């Protein structure tokens, strides 16, 4: 296919979070789309004017009722998929999140259930989305990933949010 035939009609960015408690990982059961009925990490698309970390925090809260803070980026998925309207480029960034509060409850619109599961059970299950398994495996390696930079970085633009992970 010629390069001109590969018109990208949309670009989307999503963020998700790995939340652990008592050596278990939080998953949500999806109510829509191709993953309907499957379990996966909480997350979703960025809203306009929102950073990746803000989106991950908001999505975890909306879907599960839990308050979290980002610790490090454990994985990135880059993909292009065919949609009815044309090609869509999509970037998905997964953070390891620190649980800071809230009460676990599924939103019952996008997710029908939210629960903590043993990592071993997750990795063996055919009811967990494969990408979530990959990201969870990556999160178990504490030496991998990108940590939030502690450096004070001077910028010449006016950013509302400016985060560096290295």
155 in a structural domain: no
- Which phi and psi (to 5°) does residue 61 adopt? -65, -50
CATH number at residue 106: 3.90.79.10
Tokens of 121: 């059970």
Counted domains in the chain: 1
The chain-wide mean pLDDT, for the chain, equals 91
Q: What is the pLDDT of residues 122-155, one digit of tens each?
A: 999 999 999 999 999 999 988 888 888 877 778 8
The answer to the question of residue 159 being in a domain is no
* 29 contacts 113 by C-beta, under 8 angstroms: yes
**Cβ 117 vs Cβ 123: under 8 Å:** no
The domain containing residue 58 runs over which residues? 3-147
**What does R_g of the chain's alpha carbons equal in angstroms?**
17
C-alpha dihedral (124, 138, 14, 64), degrees to nearest 10: 60
Encoded tokens for 82: 């065919």
């Amino acid at each position: 296919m010629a390069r001109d035939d590969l018109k990208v009609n949309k670009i989307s960015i999503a963020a998700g979070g790995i939340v652990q408690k008592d050596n278990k990982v939080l998953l949500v059961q999806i109510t829509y789309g191709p993953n309907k009925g499957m379990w996966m990490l909480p997350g979703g698309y960025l809203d306009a004017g929102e950073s990746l970390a803000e989106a991950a925090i908001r999505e975890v809260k909306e879907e599960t009722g839990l308050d979290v803070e980002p610790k490090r980026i454990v994985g990135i998925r880059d993909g292009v998929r065919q949609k009815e309207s044309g090609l869509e480029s999509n970037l998905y960034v997964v953070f390891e999140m620190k649980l800071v509060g809230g009460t676990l409850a599924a939103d019952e619109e996008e997710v029908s259930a939210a629960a903590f599961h043993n990592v071993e059970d997750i990795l063996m299950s055919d009811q967990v989305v494969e990408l979530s398994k990959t990201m969870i495996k990556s999160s178990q390696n504490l030496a991998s990933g990108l940590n939030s930079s502690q450096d004070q970085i001077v910028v010449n633009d006016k950013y509302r949010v400016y985060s560096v992970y290295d």
